[in-house]
Amino acid sequence: MKKNLFLMSLLCLLLASSAMAAQNAPESVAGITIGNNYSTVRSLLEMDSATSPWQKEYIRRIGLKEMEGYKGGYIVVGNCKRKDIILRMKFKYKDGSMDFFNEIYSKIEKRFGKPNDWRGNPFGTLKVWKWSLGDADGNVSLILQHFSGDDDSITKGNSIRLSRPSWLQEEMQCWDSMYPETHEKPIPAKMDGIKWFLPY
């Protein structure tokens, strides 16, 4: 009897912990919420910038207007299964200092716990912390980044990203099923061997 009571108590504790973890996953940054239609924040968007990234027609990327405390950003919305629904967002903070990065990190760690992944570089110019959190609607990815290097392909300063990777994957699968890839005959190489692949 006591063993059954102990097992029941343990089960209740695990369920309560799961419920707390589910409620703990973030959904919003600066008033923009994943899972909402982009029309709910249309006043914040540069609609003329809406475009699908190369080879990613299943989503659309829309830039954000200037917002206090931020220096740019964008949202990504679905273009198939969850059409016009916000799936991902990225913000660049106006304050690009390491002190601000550390302050934001400490607040996030206090609220959501230790990050699951580190993606920095050995030079110390790139610092990336990633949290993988779950809720009732699936997984949530939260990434905080600081970059002080010279690579133009990486956002300089401090930035934060929030997304639902599973929704993005489902969007791609939806698009691929609706628009199967066509296999046209490629244009033949105009140079022999490895030369075709090298700059000159």
Q: Residue 22: is its pLDDT beyond 90?
A: no
3 state SS for the chain: CHHHHHHHHHHHHHHHHHHHHHHHCCCEECCEECCCEHHHHHHHEEEEEEECCCCCCCEEEEEECCCCCEEEEEEEEECCCCECEEEEEEEEECCCCHHHHHHHHHHHHHHHCCCCEECCCCCCCEEEEEEEEEECCEEEEEEEEEECCCCCCCCCEEEEEEECHHHHHHHHHHHHHHCCCCCCCCCCCCCCHHHHHCCC
Mean confidence (pLDDT) of the chain:
88
Q: Which residues pair with 32 in a beta bridge?
A: 29
Q: Residue 24: is its pLDDT beyond 80?
A: no
Judge whether 89 and 162 are in contact, CB under 8 Å.
yes
pLDDT computed for residue 1 by the predictor: 53
CA dist 19 → 24, 84, 151, 183, 188 (Å): 9, 29, 42, 47, 57
pLDDT computed for residue 21 by the predictor: 41
Q: What is the pTM of this model?
A: 0.81
The more confidently predicted of residues 182 and 18 is 182
Q: How confident is the model at residue 151 (pLDDT cuts 50, 70, 90)?
A: confident
**Most confidently modeled of 18-22, 45-49, 153-157?**
45-49
In the chain, domain spans: 27-179
Q: pLDDT tens, 160-182? A: 999 999 999 999 999 999 999 88
Q: Residue 6: is its pLDDT beyond 50?
A: no
> In the numeric block, which tokens belong to residue 184?
């046209």
Q: How confident is the model at residue 18 (pLDDT cuts 50, 70, 90)?
A: very low
60-63 long-range Cβ contacts below 8 angstroms, 24+ apart: 62/38
CA distance 171 to 20: 28
CA distance 109 to 138: 21
pLDDT computed for residue 4 by the predictor: 53
